[in-house]
Chain A
Amino acid sequence: MTGTDLQVEVIIPTQTRYLELIGSIGEHIGKELDSFQGDRDALAYHLNLVLTEATTNAIKHSNFNDPKDTVKITIHICENELIIRVYDHGQGFDLESVPTPDFEHPKEGGMGIYFIRTLMDSVSYRKMKEANVLEIRKFLT
């Protein structure tokens, strides 16, 4: 894969069985990203992880009353930036209120957002009329 723009859009039912599919798309993109100067295997794992965590989050926050609810995931590479957007139709949550884990007293939950924040360059969550969107950006230089 060279500097050409890439746009991937996937829509899945709100079921965790599809996490592997979404994660593996990220992993393949990371491995094929010739323009990335850093460790491509590490990037591939990180994209797999970040997409898995973000999609899990969207499924958790989805509308369980609607069996036809879906999560939309888009991956866009434009010039030197990779942008992941994950759309959910749930109540939404306050990203800013998610604390950094207490490493001295580790707990079972709360590590997903930490991974996204640590491994990527920026993350935001917007509540919109039609859907909420978690937007994750990674600079590829």
Chain B
Amino acid sequence: MNVKREKVNGSMVLFVQEERIDAHNSADFKELMLQLLEQGETDLVVQLQSVRFIDSSGLGALLAGLKNATAKSGKFTLTNIQPQVLSMFELTRLNRVFEIYPNLQDVFASDQ
């Protein structure tokens, strides 16, 4: 799983550099998020600009990230979701569960 990490305004931003999140790479992705949360990075922002396909296991990995961050009283935010990927969140009503922003600027503006 190719993910670029960058600390921005105190948040750990994960730039997912994959076109697909599916059952082939979602377990690695989940593992990475849980490791970071375990290491004390409890403010995670997942930037999904490059992702043009997500399956149920990819949604499940993000849900695991959200649940673990919430359990640690942390934050878990998604940004830059492509329209077809967003429609999968809508179909499963997960768009009501996640905090979703159009871009990184809006994430940090919401913290002000």
Contact = CB atoms under 8 A, between A and B. Distances in A.
Interface secondary structure of A, over-half rule: helix
B11 interface: no
Interface string B41-64: 000000000000101110111011
Interface residues of B, number: 21
B84 A41 contact: yes
Given A16-B24, A20-B24, A45 B84 contact: yes
B22 A56 contact: yes
A35 interface: no
Contacts of A108: 60-61, 63-64
A56 B64 CA distance: 19
Nearest to A60: B23
A7 interface: no
Contacts of A23: 20, 22, 53
Nearest to B30: A108
Contact of B94 (A42, A106, A109): A106
A114 B56 CA distance: 9
B4 interface: no
Contact of B93 (A19, A53, A103): A103
Contacts of B63: 106-108
Nearest to A55: B23
Contacts of A114: 56, 92
Nearest to A44: B84
Interface in B7-45: 20, 22-24
B88 interface: yes
A49 B53 CA distance: 8
A19 B56 contact: no
A50 to B, nearest CB: 10
A45 to B, nearest CB: 5
A129 interface: no
Contacts of B109: none
Q: Among B22, B61, B97, find the residue whose CB has the most chain A CB atoms closer than 10 A.
A: B22
A135 B87 CA distance: 24
Given A20-B22, A101-B92, A115-B88, 14 more contacts: A16-B22, A19-B23, A20-B20, A41-B84, A42-B84, A48-B53, A49-B88, A59-B23, A106-B63, A106-B94, A108-B64, A109-B60, A112-B55, A115-B55
The 6 closest A-B pairs by CB, nearest first: A111-B56, A108-B60, A16-B24, A56-B23, A112-B56, A103-B93
